[in-house]
Structure 1
Amino acid sequence: MSFADSSALESQPTNWRREDDPQYADDPEFQHFTTDLSDRLFSLTSNITALNREVAKLGTKRETERVRERVQDLIEETTTGFKEIGEGLKKVQAWHDLGPSQKFTQSKLNREFQASLTEFQALQRAALTKQRASATAARTALDSQQSPTSPTQSHGTQAQQQQQEQEQLRLASQDEVDFQESLIVERESEIRNIEQSVGELNELFKDVAHMVHEQGEQLDIIADNVQGVRDDTQGASTELRTAERHQRSARGKACCLLLILAVVLTVVILAVVLG
């Protein structure tokens, strides 16, 4: 289906109606339901934009605990939104007795949902990669603090420095170590949550991709019908113009014949009268 055909279908009214065909009847419930889904899908774009900004801060000097919390909240909120809209799209897919324009609305929603979901999944994976790297670095740093290297007696000054460093580490607050440990555990929990949401949305993406494929075939049929109607209309217009030209030519010929007959008749009448 060409871009022009898609634009032609999209420019048509959502609800076609023909009194002699029930499949073209207005369906206010369908229109309200799909409009609500479209509005909710559009509202998720602001979440995706905000998430993009926050993910860009991960792994940089601007990364803070608040940034990680914001990323987690946005991912959870947006994942829930996509799952709810996905369930709505399944209901739209199962809607019966729809006209061509309503089927196009189905396909348009599916394609917009698929594009937004793809963008969100890319941000999920980026956040997951950065969170894993950050958590690994934090875990390594904490382990190095808890397991200092034992000094040897053969290195003299170096061994003495190591002893001093170990003494400083032992004097470090155990509460601080426990606090850092709790932060790392919490971060690892957030990573598992992101991994779970990625898996859930992968299944949803497959379902929507399947619906897009099915409706793509239906739209190809509709586009072919639109093209056929357009060709027939152009052919009919050409035939009408040709018939009009023939009609004008026939009228001209008839006028000429009438004029000739009138002249001949006048000559005959004059000849009879004068004779």
Structure 2
Amino acid sequence: HATQQETNKTITTSTKAIKQLSEVVRGSSRVRQERLQLDRLKNQLSDAIQRYGAVQKKIAEKSKALLPTGQRSTKQQSPRTPFSDLPDDEKIFNRGDGMWQNQSQDQALLSEITEEDLEAIRQREEAIQQIESDMLDVNQIIKDLASMVHEQGDTIDSIEANIETASSNVESANEQLAKASQHQV
């Protein structure tokens, strides 16, 4: 459980760092190369988050699969053969003492085991609920990351279009300056 919480914190921290890096890349002069590196980092983080979510889902499924087994094992446990099922001659001659002299102790032990098992089942259910909650958190982080990537893509496309327009305008201005220079001569 502590590992899951630590992993979720790491994912959140990484996502925030990617957002900050996106802001830095926007203001950078080497846009294309840094954008490619940023995209690669975003994709790697997204893939890691998705793999983590899949692992959490498997853990939750396996934990849920264990619950019915735990519940069944407590029901199947029973003290020794009931007195009524003992052979008649053992009831008569031994009064069943060999099998049932500690019947109340056996029932108390069964009650303790059942309570312990129930507590274990409760703990498993809580762990499953925590895993499901963590999965929802990871899912939200993935959605946020996807939204951020989409927004960055639009911004980068806009920046790239502006750079191309500026480059075209500079070439056109150079041609016009060359023509103006020839007209002055």
* 1:108-187 correspondence runs (5 A): 108-143=40-75, 145=77, 160=85, 170=107, 172-187=109-124
Choose the corresponding residue for 2:139, options 183, 194, 202: 202
Q: Does 1:213 align with 2:150?
A: yes
Check conservation: 2:71, 2:121, Cα contact below 8 A.
yes
**Which ranges of structure 2 fall in alignment gaps of 5 or more residues?**
87-98, 168-185
Per-residue deviation, residues 56-90 of structure 1 (Å, max 9, x unmatched): xxxxxxxxxxxxxxxx3432322221122112222
* 1:9-158 correspondence runs (5 A): 72-95=1-24, 96-98=26-28, 99-143=31-75, 145=77
Residues 87 and 169 (structure 1 numbering): CA distance in 2 closer, same or farther, change over 3 Å?
Answer: farther
Check conservation: 1:128, 1:194, Cα contact below 8 A.
yes
Per-residue deviation, residues 86-137 of structure 1 (Å, max 9, x unmatched): 1222222334412222222322211110011111111010001001111232
Give distance in 1, aligned partners of 2:55 and 2:72.
26
RMSD (CA atoms): 3.5
Per-residue deviation, residues 211-256 of structure 1 (Å, max 9, x unmatched): 233444537985xx89xx9xxxxxxxxxxxxxxxxxxxxxxxxxxx
Q: Which amino acid aligns with 1:135?
A: L
Q: Which amino acid aligns with 1:160?
A: D
SS at match of 2:139: helix
Give distance in 2, aligned partners of 1:135 and 1:219.
51
Give distance in 2, aligned partners of 1:125 and 1:221.
40
Residues 184 and 200 (structure 1 numbering): CA distance in 2 closer, same or farther, change over 3 Å?
Answer: same
Q: Which amino acid aligns with 2:11?
A: F
Q: Which runs of 4+ in 1 moved over 4 A?
A: 143-146, 219-222
Give the TM-score taking structure 1 as reference length.
Answer: 0.43
Give the TM-score taking structure 2 as reference length.
Answer: 0.61
Check conservation: 1:110, 1:211, Cα contact below 8 A.
no
Q: In terms of Rg, which structure is larger?
A: 1
Residues 160 and 182 (structure 1 numbering): CA distance in 2 closer, same or farther, change over 3 Å?
Answer: same
Give the structure 2 partner of residue 188 of structure 1. Answer: 125
Check conservation: 1:104, 1:219, Cα contact below 8 A.
no
The size of the alignment, in residue pairs, is 142
Check conservation: 1:111, 1:212, Cα contact below 8 A.
no
Give distance in 2, aligned partners of 1:179 and 1:82.
36
Q: Which amino acid aligns with 2:10?
A: G
Give distance in 1, aligned partners of 2:54 and 2:127.
17
Give distance in 1, aligned partners of 2:147 and 2:32.
19
Check conservation: 1:107, 1:215, Cα contact below 8 A.
no
Check conservation: 2:22, 2:152, Cα contact below 8 A.
no
**Which ranges of structure 1 fall in alignment gaps of 5 or more residues?**
1-71, 152-158, 230-275
Check conservation: 1:93, 1:211, Cα contact below 8 A.
no
